[in-house]
Amino acid sequence: MDTSSRVIGFPVSRIDGPLKVTGTAPYAAEHEAPDGLLHGFVTVATIASGRIAEIDLTEAETFPGVVKIYTHQNRPRTAWWDKAWKDEVALPGHPLRPLENDRILFDGQPVALVIGTSFEAARDAASLIRMTYHEDEPHTDLRFEQDQSYVPKEKRSGISPPPKPRGDADRAFSQSPYQISADYFQEGEHHNPMELFASTVIYGEDGSLTIHDKTQGSQNVQSYIASVFELKPDKVRVLNKFVGGAFGSGLRPKHQVFLSVMAALDLKRSVKLELSRREMFYLTWRPATVQTVSMAADDEGHLTAIMHHAVQATSLYEDYQEVVVNWSGLAYRCDNVKLTYELTELNVSTPGDMRAPGAATGVFALESVIDELSYEVGIDPLDMRIRNFVHIDQNMDKQLTSKALHACYREGAERFGWASRSPAPRSMRDGRDLVGWGMATGVWEASLMQSTAKVKLERNGHVTVSAAASDIGTGTYTILAQVGADSFGIGAEQVTVAIGDSSLPKSPVEGGSWTAASSGSAVQVAATTVRQTLLKHARDLPNSPLKDASVEQTAIRDGRLVLAVNDQAGVAIADIMDAAGVDFIEELGEVGPDQAQMKTFISYTHSAAFVEVKVDEELGVIRVTRVVSAIAAGRILNPKTARSQILGGVVMGIGMALHEEGMFDHRTGRIMNHNLAEYHVPAHADIHDIEVIFVEEHDDKASPLGVKGLGEIGIVGVAAAVANAIYHATGTRFRHLPITIDKLYYAQEAAE
Amino acid sequence: MKPFEYLRPSDVSEAVAALAANPEAQVLAGGTNLVDLMKYDVTHPGAVIDINRLPLKEIEQLEDGTFRIGALVSNSIAAYHAGIAGELPLLSSAILAGASPQLRNAATCGGNLLQRTRCYYFYDASTPCNKREPGSGCGAVGGVNRIHAILGASQHCIATHPSDMCVALAALDTVVDVAGPTGDRQIPFLDFHRLPGDHPERDNTLQQGEIVTAIRVSGGHFKRHHSYLKLRDRLSYAFALVSVAAALDIGEDGTILDIRVALGGVAHKPWRDPLAETECAGQPANRDTFQALATRLLAGARGQGDNDFKIEMARRAIVRALEQAAAGTPQIQSHKAIF
Ligand SMILES: Cc1cc2nc3c(=O)[nH]c(=O)nc-3n(C[C@H](O)[C@H](O)[C@H](O)COP(=O)(O)OP(=O)(O)OC[C@H]3O[C@@H](n4cnc5c(N)ncnc54)[C@H](O)[C@@H]3O)c2cc1C
Ligand code: SF4
């Protein structure tokens, strides 16, 4: 099928951009209700472990403007079985049921909900609730508790447990001339997208609910709410037209949607509930992780053994899991591999997916170790990686659908100027500063999920694309418009995109970087079907010039369906529809993973990150002055939105390397830096030149569109590349993230 | 946040009277600190006295060269004021090292002096804190304390004063103009903030009912040799772990005529040791002298665990800032590279 319009692969600006920059794109907390809104405010636990002893609501309940206060003592009835509480991406264990009972399992757990006639009334009353607790000793220090670790009994759906060992890693390790074995620790990172978790629940006269929710999956929230409150699914509609960033935090329904719906149903009123910035620190987080990696090589630098063990924090009620160690078995060729993964229960809220969950963590350790080993063997760190290139997935024993990683290495190194790097640590300087150049490989899975989309072509040529998919700031609106436009020979701005609505065609939650590939492909399939129907009608016309044409031989130009090779031969869309007696043609498209292909093939995106740091060693000040990130991610639908994704990933990776950490007072099990003044993410001054390269990568298997997805690969490897650059600059290996300024002092002290 | 009375007096005496009349009352200037603290339930003023209508927005240069900066002058206006930037570049530089442009536009010079500590426990009303709630204990001792004090702390409080501007003011010659129920008075800057001792709830020596009306600063003889060096957890928009305001007056022979070093981020008040400074007079302005001074300044320094690194950090920062000052190459705040 000829799709000659210049939309796919072009840097189309976001079609939702003007709404966003003018502040007219409404977010979850920015909706009103016809009956007026009640407002909620959540009171959270101030202990990390124990029981609620007493709740004194005397002052709070009589506060002007208070409508009702909910605690575990008066919470309305909800579904009984755990199964009803399991959302689409739920974990093994017992999902949190807010206000279920008096048990406190983590700091910041919701313990009361105040509903008031105004936000201020609810908040002020909340501060008058007197909770007393029976406190138990909290356990929050992973490094201290890791000897309590266990292999999760039930595997998390969609997350591969470590593969069986291959070869004999212990023996190969002990017999190799070059060996590195090191421990890595990473503090927890806490999701803080700009938009806070919020829900506006509009209570309909017939008892139906329209919920504007901050989520990455409207249909996931819709089925969760219907199931938990035992409602007819058609009585619940969830909308997430605009999402102010999520990065994985919004994959699962959060307690604000449960609580606001609970109150709305109980009070038969519309309710709005927005969590505070502080509460963001008690929700979904990238878990603290301890890793041990042992790696050995022969005299030529070929890897002979890899052993990677990780222990991650999880909550007392769910076994959160991510793929941390498997990367070590598939990133490089190695025949002796042993990978193990365990969890430790702590008094924390259940961790959750945060941009490239697992890979960001595991690849940090892997790419630090291989870097260290390259120095041991005495070869260039980039060379070391190239030497161990692998073109299959040895974990799964599968072929790869594509892997243009060599191009990432080559083009990235070229742009960065890697060739002029002086190999020895501490050998490059700029005035007083030590200069370090480091690099790392990144890898992330590329998946295609079961997805549907509708495409509608109207008589006047207007195209509407719809799916329940979400745009969490990633550019979904724009790329779906592009794919839709491409099939009809029009511009992206001529396509209406309807997404972010549970009533639209079924889509998975937006996560795992699969939306472009999955929803994009579904749109393409639907559009092709529309074109087929259109052609069928055209063929039925008397003397149709398209009589013998197949859909592949046709094109749409200027509102006419024409022969691709001769656009004089064709018929206007309007005429075709008139003759067929229809005003529009609408078709559903569906895509899903190709099970047969998956038996032999698997898909990954790859990257190479090159980083320059300058370190004022005396003062401990590190600056990341230059980053080149070269990405192989199949077909790039829109280099502008794609580049933004990678830039964001790199910035987050720098934050992971240098800044982000939740600081716990382990005596009380409480997080102390729960605001954005003290929980640091990179500021503008921390970010200098970032260059993004997309290398050519043709892939006809990863997805029908040839797209692999880009949301996550940008962060993977960045923290390691920064740490490796710091090593090259200073000669000190930092294995504990984030590498804050104090660690440089302590390292020097230890060296002395 | 609790309901409160809101007053907006139009002159100083009215403001002072309102403040003196109600021990629960607090002054609102730019609001960048007070409003946060109210929202976080850290402080609950019974009355908020909005002083933004008071005529305290002028910067004037007095005959002796001293700058008199009204308490309501914004941090940005003060920093970019041509006279201040020219004569007291150390002060400009310290202001610009703080917060963000938006905050500096809203924050006032009076408010900057009176901003509260950034101690995590002070900010979290559900933890013990002697400063927030006298007698409740100190959460930070033995807790998360990497941003806490290494000098002048007491067992009751190890908080630091977070201001950058005040560190420069402490290094220069500064006096705080105050109006109160018993009349006006002037407080030498080094006496304005206090150490926590047994009363960490008191940050400074203002008396009940007093407001700051202006600050008077001089120190033009340091305009060639000065530097404000701030070390923090990211390159901008973070409070100082350690900061140094260094000022030198160097004679033709290269010896020190006058030297000032004030430290931020290390104590409950900007830290200075005037006696140690005096003893540097006549010595060469070189690394040895600076190191010796650093050692003296930090003689009583004691870490709390997480913040042990600050002692060495402060030592090196003092030396570097003085070297920058001596070389006439002050730290540039818009460029984060350190020379
Ligand atoms: C995220 C963030 C980052 C920041 N980073 C920095 C930084 O890096 N460095 C830095 O130095 N500062 C920093 N600040 C603090 C900022 O400088 C202060 O908040 C600001 O200077 C306070 O001034 P204001 O006018 O807003 O004071 P307000 O908030 O109005 O008042 C603060 C206090 O001073 C009292 N007060 C105000 N004016 C007077 C007066 N004339 N007389 C008596 N009492 C008065 C108030 O009652 C209140 O107790 C930061 C602030 C934030 C929020
Ligand atoms: S250090 Fe001071 S401010 Fe911090 S908790 Fe202790 S008493 Fe409160």
A3 falls within a domain: no
Strand partners, A309: A292, A340
Same domain for A489 and A438 = no
CA nearest to B252, candidates B226, B285, B222, B223: B285
The angle at the Cα of A20, spanning A117 to A605, to the nearest 5 degrees, equals 115
Mean pLDDT score across all residues of chain B: 97
Question: Separation of B130 CA from ligand 2 center, angstroms?
Answer: 6
**Which chain A residue's Cα is nearest to B306?**
A742
Q: Encode A628-637: b = buried (16+ Cβ within 10 Å), e = exposed.
A: bbbbbbbbbb
**pLDDT confidence of residue A433:** 97
Q: Flag whether A28 is in a domain.
A: no
Distance B43 CA to ligand 2 centre (A): 14
Across the interface, do B316 and A619 touch by the CB < 8 Å criterion? yes
Q: Compute the nearest-CA separation of A618 from chain B (Å).
A: 7
pLDDT given at position A2? 47
> For position A449, what pLDDT does the model report?
93
Residue A5 has a pLDDT of: 57
N-to-C CA span, chain A: 69
Q: Are residues A580 and A476 in the same domain?
A: yes
Provide the pLDDT for residue A572. 96
Residues A198 and A82 in one domain: yes
Residues A471 and A506 in one domain: yes
Whether residue A684 sits in one domain with residue A621: yes
| Mutational pocket test of ligand 2: of B151, B157, B194, B304, the residue with most ligand atoms within 8 Å of the beta carbon | B157
Which contiguous run of DSSP H or E holds residue A649? helix A639-658
On whether the CB atoms of residues B257 and B249 are closer than 8 A, the answer is: yes
Residues 6+ apart with CB under 8 A from A161: A152, A155, A321, A341
* CATH label of the domain that carries residue A258: 3.90.1170.50
Please judge whether B41 and A686 are an interchain contact, meaning their C-beta atoms are less than 8 angstroms apart.
Answer: no
The angle, 0 to 180 degrees and rounded to 10, between the axes of the packed helices A718-730 and A359-377 is 30
For residue A33, tell me if it sits in a domain: no
Task: Report yes or no on A4 lying in a domain.
Answer: no
Write the residue with the smallest CA distance to atom 8 of ligand 2. B129
Q: Where are the alpha helices (DSSP H) in A550-631?
A: 573-580, 595-600
Percent of chain B at pLDDT > 70 equals 100
Residue A1 lies in a domain: no
Distance CA A193, CA B133 (A): 33
Which chain B residues contact residue A119 at CB under 8 A? Answer: none
pLDDT under 50: residue ranges of chain A: 1-4
For the record, the structure tokens of A228 come out as 């938990």
What pTM does this model have?
A: 0.97
Residue A72 amino acid letter: H
Pairing between β-strand A303-314 and β-strand A337-345 as defined by DSSP bridges: parallel
| A2 within domain boundaries | no
Q: What is the 3-state secondary structure (H, E, C) of A271-318?
A: EEEECCHHHHCCCCEECCEEEEEEEEECCCCCEEEEEEEEEEEECCCE
Pocket of ligand 1 (CB under 6 A): A 677; B 26-34, 51, 71, 98-99, 103, 106-108, 110-112, 114-115, 162-165, 211-212, 239
Q: Is the peptide bond before A162 cis (omega within 30 degrees of 0)?
A: no
Asked if B2 and A684 come within 8 Å (Cβ–Cβ), the reply is: no
Provide the H-helix boundaries in A7-162. 17-21, 58-61, 82-85, 119-126, 142-145
> Which ligand is in closest contact with the Cα of B147?
2
- B109 pLDDT higher than 90: yes
Q: How is A230-246 classified by DSSP, letter by letter? A: T--GGGEEEE-S--S--
A270 lies in the same domain as A306: no
The Cα A716–Cα A706 span in angstroms is 22
**Is the four-CA dihedral B284, B285, B288, B293 of positive or negative sign?**
positive
Same domain flag for A375 and A524:
no
In a domain, A743, yes or no: yes
Contact list, B235 vs chain A (CB under 8 Å): 621, 623, 683, 685-686
Name which of A51, A63, A44, A48 is nearest A113 in CA terms. A44
CA distance A565 to A567: 6
Q: Is the dihedral of CA A352, A356, A357, A361 positive or negative?
A: negative
d(CA A454, CA A747): 58
Q: Residue A261 and residue A204: Cα distance in Å, rounded?
A: 12
* Class of residue A102 by CB neighbours under 10 A (exposed 0-12, middle 13-18, buried 19+): middle
Q: Is the ipTM of this complex over 0.95?
A: yes
Q: CA A84 to CA A226: how far, in whole Å?
A: 9
CA of B233 to the centre of ligand 1 (A): 20
Q: Which residue has the least CA distance to atom 6 on ligand 2? A: B138
Strand order in the sheet with A566-572: A554-557, A560-563, A566-572
**Which of B121, B193, B198 to mutate to test ligand 2, by most ligand atoms within 8 A of the CB atom?**
B121
Structure confidence at residue A510 (pLDDT)? 86
Question: Under 8 Å CB-to-CB from B60, ≥6 apart: which residues?
Answer: B67, B68
Give all strands (DSSP E) within A24-139, no chain letters.
37-44, 50-56, 66-70, 103-104, 110-116, 130-135
**Residues A54 and A131 both lie in one domain:** yes
CATH number of the domain where residue A533 is located: 3.30.365.10
In a domain, A29, yes or no: no
How many whole angstroms separate alpha carbon B57 and alpha carbon B48?
Answer: 20
Residues for chain A: how many in total?
752
Query: Residue B1's pLDDT is what?
Result: 64
Which residue range forms the structural domain that includes residue A82?
38-137+194-245+250-280
Instruction: Please say which residue of A592, A615, A648 terminates a domain.
Output: A592
Taken in order of first residue, the domains within chain B and their CATH numbers are 5-53 (3.30.43.10), 225-327 (3.30.390.50)
Domain count for chain A, please give it: 3
Considering the domain architecture, whether residues A338 and A358 belong to the same structural domain is answered as yes
Show Cβ contacts of residue A180 under 8 Å, excluding neighbours closer than 6 positions: A293, A294, A295, A296, A369, A372, A373, A376
Alpha carbon distance, N-terminus to C-terminus of chain B: 45
d(CA A653, CA A442): 11
DSSP conformational letter for A332:
S
Amino acid type, A575: D
Q: Of A259, A280, A301, which residue constitutes the final position of a domain?
A: A280
For ligand 1, atom 27, which residue shows the shortest CA distance? B111
A373 contacts A596 by C-beta, under 8 angstroms: no
Residues of chain A found within 8 Å of residue B41, distances taken between Cβ atoms? 127
Closest-lying ligand 1 atom to the alpha carbon of residue B238: 8
Q: Are residues A535 and A653 in the same domain?
A: no
Give per-residue pLDDT as tens, A576-619.
999 999 999 999 999 999 999 999 999 999 999 999 999 999 99
Please tell me whether residues A380 and A476 are part of one structural domain.
no
- CB distance A610 to A412 below 8 Å: yes
Between A672, A683, A749, which is nearest B234 by CB? A683
Give the position of tokens 């006058």.
B258
Report the residue from A123, A431, A659 with minimal CB separation from B234: A659
Could you say which of A280, A296, A327 is where a domain stops? A280
Same-domain check for residues A700 and A573: no
Q: Are B171 and B164 in contact (CB under 8 A)?
A: no
Chain B residues closer than 8 Å to A742 by CB:
146, 241, 306, 309, 313
* Residues of A labelled catalytic: 712
- Phi/psi of residue A401, nearest 5 degrees: -70, -25
What distance in Å separates the CA atoms of residue A130 and residue A152, rounded to the nearest whole number? 38
d(CA B103, CA A676): 14
Q: Is B337 on the interface with A (CB under 8 A)?
A: yes
What pLDDT is stored for residue B339 in this prediction?
Answer: 80
